[in-house]
Structure 1
Amino acid sequence: MTSPIKPPKGNWWDQPVNRRESIWLGLGVGWALVLFGWMSAFTRIGDQNPIGETYRVTEDELREKVDAFKDAAEEREDGAYVPDGDDVFVVGQRFDWDGLPVVLETGREYDFHLSSYDVQHGFSIRPEHALSQQINLHVMPGEEWVVPMEFDEPGTYHVLCNEFCGEGHRGMHGTIIVEEGSQ
């Protein structure tokens, strides 16, 4: 019996490959090429890719925008903001989401203005009833990312930071409450 640790004896490199092994190697390479092509096409034409524009923004400019958003929004008794228009500002800061909680309508597209005041944060939205469905984005200080989003189902969506941002990271969460739209 040959040892898997010791090299085989003789000139094993120039030995012909068994026909069945060649077929399986060819199938494996062919399948890898199919998957690579599918993955490449899916990232170019798939709907899963977040879109939107990014802008350079200072912390002071960002705070002004978020304060203007909160001033214009209707504040409910539970402290949640109902936006005045289609713009929603959510900005991460250790260890909170400024601009949340927010109340939105189903079937309406909102422009989420995402950023951070201090360090990189992970913006993860998960529906309460299906935690396996989620969207993950990264927000950076100095960058305002405008991402269009639409919610199809009413319910409570949890916003979590999924990028370690310090000692209070595990408590950094907020909510988006989606109610049936008036259509």
Structure 2
Amino acid sequence: MTSPIKPPKGNWWDQPVNRRESIWLGLGVGWALVLFGWMSAFTRIGDQNPIGETYRVTEDELREKVDAFKDAAEEREDGAYVPDGDDVFVVGQRFDWDGLPVVLETGKEYDFHLSSYDVQHGFSIRPEHALSQQINLHVMPGEEWIVPMEFDEPGTYHVLCNEFCGEGHRGMHGTIIVEEGSQ
């Protein structure tokens, strides 16, 4: 019996490869190429990947933008903001989302301006009725990421921080309320 630790005796590297081994190696390499091609195509085709522009921004500039957003928005009795336009500003800070809650319309594309005042946060949106469906993004301080988003179904969407940001992390959540559009 040969040991798996010691190399086999003799000139084993010059021995021809068994035909069955060649077939399995060929199938393995072929399957790896198929998966690589599928993965490459999947990242380029479809709406599953968020896109957008990213800009450097100071905390003071960011606070001015968010305050202007909240001042221009209609504030409902429940404290939710109805944006005046297509721009929505959501900025993470320990342990809250500035700019939320917000009320949006179905079928309308909004430009979400995402950032953080202090540390990296995870921006996760989950519909209330199907918590397995979600989008996860990371927001960084000093960066304003503008991501276009459109909601097809009305309902309440929960915004959670999924990047540990301190002791109050588990309470860092907000809501996006999506109502039927007037279109």
Query: TM-score range with shorter-chain normalisation?
Result: over 0.9
Q: TM-score, normalised by structure 2?
A: 0.94
Unaligned runs of 5+ in 2: none
Question: Which secondary structure does the structure 1 equivalent of 2:181 belong to?
Answer: coil
Unaligned runs of 5+ in 1: none
1:125-144 C-alpha deviation (Å, 9 max, x unpaired): 11111111111111111111
Question: Which secondary structure does the structure 2 equivalent of 1:100 belong to?
Answer: coil
Question: Which secondary structure does the structure 2 equivalent of 1:84 belong to?
Answer: coil
Residue 45 of structure 1 pairs with residue 45 of structure 2: yes
Taking the aligned partners of 2:102 and 2:82, their CA distance within structure 1 comes to: 6
Moved more, 4-13 or 156-165: 4-13
1:111-157 C-alpha deviation (Å, 9 max, x unpaired): 10000000111111111111111111111111111111000001111
Taking the aligned partners of 2:6 and 2:50, their CA distance within structure 1 comes to: 51
Question: Structure 1 residue 45: deviation in Å?
Answer: 2.9
Taking the aligned partners of 2:86 and 2:129, their CA distance within structure 1 comes to: 25
Aligned length, in residue pairs = 183
1:75-128 C-alpha deviation (Å, 9 max, x unpaired): 112111111111100000011100001111100000100000001111111111
Question: Which secondary structure does the structure 1 equivalent of 2:2 belong to?
Answer: coil
Question: Structure 1 residue 6: deviation in Å?
Answer: 4.5
Question: Structure 1 residue 40: deviation in Å?
Answer: 1.4
Identity %: 99
Question: Structure 1 residue 22: deviation in Å?
Answer: 1.0
Matched residue, 2:14:
14
Moved more, 82-91 or 42-51: 42-51
Moved more, 67-76 or 84-93: 67-76
Taking the aligned partners of 2:34 and 2:118, their CA distance within structure 1 comes to: 43
Question: Which secondary structure does the structure 1 equivalent of 2:89 belong to?
Answer: strand
Describe how 1:21-32 pairs up with structure 2 within 5 A.
Answer: 21-32=21-32
